[in-house]
Structure 1
Amino acid sequence: FYTNEDVPEEILNFLDPTIEYLKIENKQIDGDRAQLFYRLKFKNRPEVFTETNFATIEHYLSSGTAKGVTLYGNVLQALRTGGIIFIDELENHFNHAIVRSFIEYFTNPKINKNRATLIFSTHYSELLDDLERGDEIYLTKREKFIQLQRYSKTAVRKDLSKAEVFDSDYLGGTAPEYDSYMKLRKATEGAVNNAESR
C-alpha cells in the first residue's frame, strides 16, 4: 500500500508518537523471488521488530495505529488517482480527531485535486454536521427491511443539527426506541439485583 520503502513519519507520529519508523523493504531471495520485510522500531527502545507479514507487525501496534497505517496508504492512492475508497465504520479504532482528519483530506480542494471520493459508514452521528451537503448523506434505517434515505430529501429545517436529528430519532428508525431502552434498562437492573441477592 506504500510505493516507497518507509511508512511516512508524519502518519506514524500522528497515530502513535512512540514509533520511530516502520520500513517496508522488498528483498530478492532465492534468485527471482522477492520477499517483503517489515521493520518496526519504537523510540527509546533498542530492538527492531522484523517480520515478513504485516499482520504479525500489527501485534506490536494498537488496532487504531495498524488500521491508520493501512488506511492512510489506501487514502493516498485514492487521492493521487482520483479513485474511490469505501470504508465500513470509519470510526472503528479511531477517535474523532483521526476520523475527521481522514474525511478532511477528501473535502479539502488543496489536497483532493483529483476529485477522489470517500464513501463511508459510521455510527458517529456528530460527523454528519461536518458534511455541508445533505445530498452526500444517506441514512440507513431498518423497519421491515433495510432502507436508505437521502438526508436532503427529508423535511428537516436546515438550521437543525444533523446529528441531533439523527440521535433524536426524528426521522424514525435511526435510534433505539425509548420504550426499548426502558425495557432493557429494567432488565439490566433486575439482572444485576438478582445476581447480588444470590
Structure 2
Amino acid sequence: MLMRFGAANFGSLRTSQEISLVASSLKDKGSHLIEVPEQKQSLLSSAILYGANASGKTTMLKAFYAMHNMLLHSHNRSSPTGGIQRNKFALDPEMKDNVSQFDCDVIIDGVRYHYGFKLNDEEFLEEWLYAFPGGSRQSWFYRKKGEPINFGKNLKGQNKSTEALTRPNSLFLSAAAQNAHSQLTSIYSYFQKRFFFDLTPNPNPVMLPFLFAKNDFDRRILSILNMADTGIVDVKLERKQGSEKQKMMLSGLVDVISNVFPDIGPSAQEIDNIFPELRFAHSAKSGEKVFLDLDTESRGTIRLVELLGPCLRALDTGGILFVDEIDTSLHTGLASAVIELFSSNVSNPKGAQLIATTHDTNLLCSGALRRDQIWFVEKDSSGESSAYPLSDLKTRNTDNFEKGYLEGRFGAVPFTGNIQKLFMEEAA
C-alpha cells in the first residue's frame, strides 16, 4: 500500500510536492478506510486530483511513474555512459543544474518502508532505504556520491558485491534486484507487480486487444459492460498469427503498448507470434448474437474496457493504480462507479488504491469521497505547481464541495477572463 509520494524539480514541480494517502482525523462519511493492523494510521483507498488544464495534475502522476521507471530499469536498460534523462522545471534557469528528488512511503507485509533518491543529468547523487518494523526506524542503506554506501546491520545479503556493480547512473535497489539480492528483491518485486499506470486516456480500438495479449478476457468486465447498458452481451477473444501488414503497423507501437499496459502488454517478439483479436457481441432483433469489430464500438465502451482491465488487476492484487483523466469518454455515473470499486471493502478487500485526475465536478457531491481524498493542483504565475487537499482548507463535511469549487473558493480553477470582450475588441 502507498502512504505518500513526492517529487521536486520535475516538470512543473519546482519545489517538493506530495500526495498523501494517510487518512486525516475527520468524521466524514464516504469511502472506507484501509486499516493496517501493524500501523497506527489508516490509509485512504483513493485520492482524486482536480485542477485547471495544464495545472500540473498529470505531472503529479507522471512524477511517480518516472520514479517507478528508474527504480525498475535504471540498471538493466540505461546506457553505462548515457547519463540520466530527466524532465526538469524549465521556467527557472537556476533549476537546470539543481537536483531532482523522488521519494515515497509504502507498506509491504505490514512494514512501512521509506525509499527515495536524488539525481542530476549524469548520476544519482543520493539514495536511501529505511524500514520501520514495529514503528522502529532501521537504516537499510544510504548512498551518497563519492562515499562508500553505508549499509545498516539489518540489511543482509550481497551488499558489497552489488555495490561494486552499481553504476553512477543506476540505482542500487535496481542493481540489487538484477543481481538477485535476497532481501532487496522482495522490495523491488513489490514495485514491479503492485503498481499499475493508465496515463494515456485516449480510447484506441487498435491497442485495446493487447490488454489481453497474455491474459484471458476477464468475464467480470463483460458483466460490468452489460450492467452499464452498452448493449454488449458476449465477447470473443482469439489469438492469431498477425499478417505482415499488421506487424508493420504495430512495430512502432510496442513501446507505447508496454507503457500503457506495463506488465501486460507484449514484447516485440510476442507481437510477432501472437496477434489478439477482440470482438463484442450485441443482440440482434431476432435474439441472435452479432459480433462486431472494435472500431464500431463507442469511445466510451473502449475506454471503459481499457480502464477496467488494470482496475481489476489492482483490486485482485491489492495494488495501486494511477489513472489520468478518469472521466475521459465516460458518463459521470460510470466514473463514480469505478471509484466506488476501490471505496468498498466488498469489492476491495485487499486494500487496493486509486490515484486519479479528473475534471468531473459531479464526483465532488457524490458522497463517495472524504475531504482528505479530494486534492487540488494549482499553477502560479511563474509556472510552478502546488498540490493540497481539501481537508487543509476551512470547510465542513456538509458543504457543497462542487459549488464551492466552481465558485473558486478552493482555487485550482481556470481563469478565462471575459472571452466575449475579446471578440468585441477584435470586431471594433
Q: Same fold (TM over 0.5)?
A: yes
User: Which of 377, 387, 401 is the equivalent residue of 1:162?
Assistant: 401
Tell me which residue corresponds to 1:43: 283
Taking the aligned partners of 2:334 and 2:353, their CA distance within structure 1 comes to 18
Q: Is 2:310 the counterpart of 1:74?
A: yes
Say which structure is richer in helix: 1
* Aligned positions of 1:2-151 closer than 5 A: 3-5=215-217, 7=219, 8-26=221-239, 33-44=273-284, 48-49=291-292, 57=294, 59-129=295-365, 130-144=367-381, 145-151=384-390
Kindly indicate whether the alpha-carbon contact (under 8 Å) linking 2:236 and 2:279 is maintained by their aligned counterparts in 1.
Answer: yes
Structure 1 6/123 Cα, relative in aligned 2: closer, same or farther at 3 Å? closer
Amino acid at match of 1:186: K
Instruction: Supply the RMSD in Å over aligned alpha carbons.
Output: 2.8
**1:188 shift after superposition:** 4.5
**1:10 shift after superposition:** 1.3
Kindly indicate whether the alpha-carbon contact (under 8 Å) linking 1:28 and 1:34 is maintained by their aligned counterparts in 2.
Answer: yes
Taking the aligned partners of 2:391 and 2:230, their CA distance within structure 1 comes to 40
Q: Which structure 2 residue ranges, 5 or more long, are not aligned? A: 1-210, 243-271
Q: Which structure 1 residue ranges, 5 or more long, are not aligned? A: 51-56
Percentage of identical aligned residues:
26
Amino acid at match of 2:413: T
**1:91 shift after superposition:** 1.0
**1:134 shift after superposition:** 1.8
Q: Deviations over 1:68-103 (max 9, x none)?
A: 012111111110001111111111101111111101
Q: Deviations over 1:17-47 (max 9, x none)?
A: 4333222123579xx9443222333321775
**1:121 shift after superposition:** 0.7
Query: TM-score normalized by structure 1?
Result: 0.76
**1:128 shift after superposition:** 2.3
Q: Is 2:420 the counterpart of 1:185?
A: yes
**1:189 shift after superposition:** 6.2
Amino acid at match of 1:152: S
* Structure with greater contact order relative to length (CA < 8 Å, sep ≥ 6): 2
Kindly indicate whether the alpha-carbon contact (under 8 Å) linking 1:86 and 1:118 is maintained by their aligned counterparts in 2.
Answer: yes
Kindly indicate whether the alpha-carbon contact (under 8 Å) linking 1:15 and 1:64 is maintained by their aligned counterparts in 2.
Answer: no
SS at match of 2:327: coil
Structure 1 167/27 Cα, relative in aligned 2: closer, same or farther at 3 Å? same
SS at match of 1:119: strand
Count of aligned pairs between the two proteins: 179
Amino acid at match of 1:4: D
**1:175 shift after superposition:** 4.3
Taking the aligned partners of 1:10 and 1:148, their CA distance within structure 2 comes to 37
